[in-house]
Amino acid sequence: MRTMIIAGNWKMYKDLQETTDLLTQLKAAVPRLPANVVSIVCPPYTSLHAAAAALSGSAFKLGAQNMSQHDEGAYTGEISGKMLKAVGCEYVILGHSERRQYFGETNELINQKAKKALALGLTPIVCVGESLQEREAGITGQIVTTQVKGTLSGIGPQEMTRIVIAYEPVWAIGTGRVATPEQAQEVHQIIRKQIAQLYDWALAERITIQYGGSVKPDNAADILTQNDVDGALVGGACLKADSFSAIIKAVKP
Ligand code: PGA
């Protein structure tokens, strides 16, 4: 049995006070995580320090939403993995579709970032997923396998065991249009097969593949019970303690 990872991607929401308030409510709503669940919150950079303080003594882990592929230097506006580690992050989301779409991130760049994160001891959550146009053209499998291959290029089997993959169909993000459990399972299986081809089956069976895209308390249980779905990357519903905690509680023991 793989551990389920329920992560919250806060995107560009919550200032300092709102961060402390949300995490106080979340800790009250989930005083103890189920034994088979790891839960991560990924607030904006400006809230990471406060979030680390608010979470100390709790089982929730801290993650960031992006990081630089560079160690340090004259890169105005960028944040390094070393900085994320220093503030208490253990995870970092890489290659979210919004980063690909609005900030021009490519598989090659995401691959560089993933290698840097691994070298620094951060766990990358690498996002892949097709657009609506690509799904309608019947090329979902092709798009996702190209993204998996590109973002994992040159990553050895040992390091691969530390990577989390998030399948997020772009058409389901923030739209309320969730993939059906069968649609999610189908693509998760394609991804796991691809990992088996690139590495081997034993390794592929160990990899956590999260689903993301309009996960809510009322659809979480159906998606999370699919064989190859090992958790959720949650956007909108992670901004309230009651909905995020309900998704955590939707995981079958
Ligand atoms: P959503 O976002 O849950 O609001 O669809 C998911 C994500 O972008 O990670």
Q: Is the pLDDT of residue 80 over 90?
A: yes
Q: Which atom of ligand 1 is nearest to the CA of 216?
A: 3
Please state the atom number of ligand 1 nearest to the C-alpha of residue 173: 5
Mean pLDDT of 83-99: 98
Q: In angstroms, what CA-CA distances link 28 with 16, 35, 221, 237, 241? A: 19, 18, 22, 17, 9
Overall average pLDDT of the 203-218 stretch: 97
**What is the share, in percent, of the chain residues with pLDDT greater than 90?**
97
Residues in the chain: 253
96 is catalytic: yes
- Please name the helix (run of DSSP H) or strand (run of DSSP E) that holds residue 18, with its range, or none: helix 16-29
pLDDT over threshold 90, residue 126? yes
Catalytic (active site) residue 188: no
Atom of ligand 1 nearest to the CA of 212: 6
- Note the pLDDT tens digit of each residue in 23-42: 999 999 999 999 999 999 99
**Residue 225 confidence class, pLDDT cut points 50, 70, 90:** very high
Percent of the chain with pLDDT over 70: 100
d(CA 128, CA 229): 14
Which entry of 105, 130, 134, 168 is annotated as an active-site residue? 168
Mean pLDDT of 223-238: 98
Phi, psi of 140 (to 5 degrees): -55, -50
Whose C-alpha lies nearest to ligand 1, atom 9?
235
- Give, to the nearest 10 degrees, the angle between helix 16-29 and helix 48-55: 30
Mean pLDDT across the chain:
97
Task: In whole angstroms, give the CA distance from residue 173 to residue 149.
Answer: 22
213 in contact with ligand 1, CB cutoff 6 A: yes
What is the model's pLDDT at position 92?
98
Mean pLDDT lowest among 60-64, 162-166, 171-175: 171-175
Range 205-211 average pLDDT:
97
In DSSP notation, 101-170 reads HHH---HHHHHHHHHHHHHTT-EEEEEE---HHHHHTT-HHHHHHHHHHHHHTT--HHHHTT-EEEE--G
Asked whether the predicted pLDDT for residue 1 surpasses 80, the reply is: no
What's residue 176's pLDDT? 85
- Tell me the pTM: 0.98
Q: How far is CA 46 from CA 13, 15, 63, in A?
A: 11, 8, 12
Across residues 54-60, what is the average pLDDT?
Answer: 95
Q: Which two tokens stand for residue 184?
A: 């999610």
What are the backbone angles phi and psi of residue 5, rounded to the nearest 5°?
-115, 115
Task: Give the DSSP letter of residue 210.
Answer: E
Spatial CB neighbours of 86, under 8 Å, sequence gap ≥ 6: none
* Residue 173 near ligand 1, beta carbon < 6 Å: yes
Under the banding of pLDDT at 50, 70 and 90, the label for residue 6 is very high
Does ligand 1 come within 6 angstroms of the Cβ of 235? Answer: yes
Q: What is the pLDDT of residues 143-154, one digit of tens each?
A: 999 999 999 999
Nearest protein Cα to ligand 1, atom 3: 235
The sign of the torsion formed by the CA atoms of 139, 65, 35, 249 equals negative
Residue 26: predicted pLDDT: 98
Answer whether 212 contacts ligand 1 (Cβ < 6 A).
yes
The 10 Å Cβ neighbour count of residue 225 is: 13
Looking from the CA of residue 11, the nearest atom of ligand 1 is: 8
Q: 112 — phi, psi (to 5°)? A: -60, -45
Question: How many angstroms is it from 175 CA to the middle of ligand 1?
Answer: 9
